[in-house]
Amino acid sequence: MEDRYSITEFISASKQSERKQGFFELETPRMLEVNLDGLVWSKAGSMIAYKGQIKFEREGMLEHGMGKFLKKAFTGEGSSLMKANGTGQLYLADQGKKITILSLNNESITVNGNDLLAFDPAINWDIKLMRKVSGMLSGGLFNIHLSGTGLIAITSHYEPLTLFAERGKPVFTDPNATVAWSGGLQPGFVTDVSLKTFLGRGSGESIQMKFDGDGFIVVQPFEEIYLSQQS
């Protein structure tokens, strides 16, 4: 019998790390450990395990104010938040997507609402509506603008790629493959008539995000199709 396939070897290779180096820690590339001593906000349904005394609660309808409640209702936004409060180790994941931890230092970033896994309660956030495309893409698009100082965790299908835009040298992306962009960028939207003709008027590729300014854009090698777009 080969020792490399033994249960002991499997446990040794996959067991939890006890580094506890910070608030957020990558237990694996697709699993986030939160060393909790207080509060953290995370994507609803992302908890896969925990140790310690932790209480979970969905965000209240008006917990973040009437303005954000109305935006969530308007967008039909499906990425509700979950509040975890207590002391212990919390493990989060989202459909096996790769997790990236970012430390904001009085900085800002905008993240696709479906790709935000967790964030420090010290971070300020707001929902940004993409009104111009709400009629083009079924279900529309919503994004979350995060700013301040603290940790956030975002997800992507497979390895993300960061592109850089310059004023006068824009970057164009597929909305369903766009994960995040630097806070100073304001995306526009363009419709490619030739692609519409070639691929059919319902094709997502006919609508592109345009980033014209100084900043970065994070994309993934995957087009994320939301349930509202499939119906």
Residue 206 lies in a domain: yes
Range with the lowest mean pLDDT among 84-93, 102-111, 138-147, 206-215?
138-147
The residue range of the domain holding 57 is 21-230
Asked whether residue 10 is assigned to any structural domain, the reply reads: no
Q: Return d(Cα 116, Cα 113) in angstroms, integer.
A: 6
Sign of CA dihedral 130, 190, 176, 169: negative
For residue 222, which of 96, 84, 90 has the smallest C-alpha distance? Answer: 96
Ramachandran region of residue 148, left (φ > 0), alpha (ψ -120 to 50) or beta?
A: left
Q: What is the pLDDT of residues 25-34, one digit of tens each?
A: 999 999 999 9
Residue 15 falls inside a structural domain: no
Note whether residue 12 is domain-resident: no
- The verdict on residue 143 lying in a domain is yes
CATH number of the structural domain spanning residue 33: 3.60.160.10
Domain annotation covers residue 7: no
pLDDT greater at residue 55 or residue 11: 55
Number of compact structural domains in the chain: 1
pTM, 2 dp: 0.81
**Is residue 6 assigned to a domain?**
no
**Rounded average pLDDT over 6-19:** 72
In a domain, 177, yes or no: yes
